[in-house]
Structure 1
Amino acid sequence: MAGIISRFKDIMSSNINALLDKAEDPSKMIDQYLRNLESDLGKVKAETASVMSEEKRWKRQLDECTENMEKMHRYAEKALIAGNEDDAKLFLEKKSELVNKQQTLKQSYEIAAGNAEKMRSMHDKLVKDIGELNARKDQLKVKLAVAKTQERLNKIGSSIDGAKGNMSAFDKIEDKINKQLDEANAMAELNSLKEENNIDDLMSKYDDEKSTNPEIDDELAELKRKLGL
C-alpha cells in the first residue's frame, strides 16, 4: 500500500497549468499528460477497488466482533436472571476477549479506511484532470497554433525590415551611380560644345573677306580716277 501512495504522490500535487508553462511543446505535453493520466487512472482504479474491498472486510469483522460482544453481554444478563452466575461469568470472560479483539480490528479498519480515502481522492482528482484536459485540449491547441503563426509572422516581419534596410542601401548606391552618370553626361555635353566652337573658329579662317558697301567702293574708285591715282 505504501508503494502505491508514494508512486502516485506527484499526481496529487501536480498542477496542470504549471506543467504546461514549463513544457517546451505544450501541444505534445497535453497529449502525453493525457496518456499518462489514462494509464495512471487504470492503476488507481484497480488499487482503489482493492483497498476499498479491504476496508469493507475489516469493517465487516469489526461489526461482527461488536455484535458478538453485545451478544455475550445479553447472554450474561440472561444467565444471571436464570440464577446461573458461573455461566454469566463465562459469557463476560468471552466478552472481555472480544473487547481486546475489537480494539485490534478497529485500528486495522481505521488504517484501511484512511488508505481507501486516499485512493478515492487520487481517483477523483485523476478523473477531474482528465475531464479538464480533454475539455481544454482543442482550445489550447488552437491557441498554440495561433501563437506559432504569430511567431512566423514576426520572423517574416523582421526579414522584411531587413529587406527594407537593404533596399534603402541599394537606393543610395543607385543615387550615387545616377549622379556619376549625370556628371559624365554633362562633361560629354560640354566637350561636344567646345569641339563645335573650335570647328566654327577654324571655318571662319577660310571664309571670304568681309564685303564692303558697293556705293562706297564706286565713289572711291571715281575719286581715284579724277586724281590720276
Structure 2
Amino acid sequence: MGIFSRTRDIFAANMTELLDRAEDPARMIRMIILEMEETLVEVRASAARSIADGKEMRRALSRLDEIQTGWTEKAELALSKNREDLAKAALMERQKAADMAEGLRGEIAVIEETLKSYEADIAKLQGKLREARARQNAIATRFESALTRAKASELLNGGRTQDAFARFDILERRADLAEGHADALGMTGPKSLEEEIADLRSSDRVDAELEAMKAAMKAKGE
C-alpha cells in the first residue's frame, strides 16, 4: 500500500467505530498506534527527500542562471566583433539554459506544494496519534480499575473469605463455651433441704465437742 493511500485511510478511520467492532480493543488500538507511527516515519522520510531534492534543484537553477549570464556576455562579445553568427549561437545556448531553468522552476513549485501537503499530513497524523494514545491510556485505566474491582469483589465475596469468616464464627463459639465453663465453675446455687439439715447436725457435733473441751479444761483447773 502506498504512503498516500495509507495516510488517507488513517485520516478517514473512525477510531470509535474500529474499537466498537474489535474483539480486543486494547490490541486493536496498539495496532492502530503502530500503523500511525510507521506511516508518520514514512511521511517524514518522504518530506526529507523532497526537501533535499528541492535544495538540489535550486542549486541547479542557480548554475543555469549563471550559464545564461555567461552566454549573454558571449553573445555581446561576438556582436562587438561583428560575429553575428556566433552571437546567434550563443543566444540559442542561452535559450536552452533558460528552458531548463523554467522546467526546474516548475518542479520546484511542485515540490513546495508537496511539502505543504506533507506538513499538513504530519500535523493530522500527530493529532490522530495523540487521540489514539489518549484512548489507549483511558482503556488501560479502565482495565486496571476493572481488575482492581474484580479482586476486591473476589476478596469480599469469594469462597476463601467466606471460609475464613466461618472459621472466625467457630473460634468465637469455642471461646464462648470456654468462658461459660469457667463461669459455671465459680457459681454457687441455693442449698437443698438435706444439705441444710446436714449442716445443722455438723453444727451440733461441733457445739458438743466445744462443751466437752470446756468441761475438761475446767476439771483440770480444779
TM-score by length of 2: 0.49
Point out the structure with max Rg over C-alpha: 1
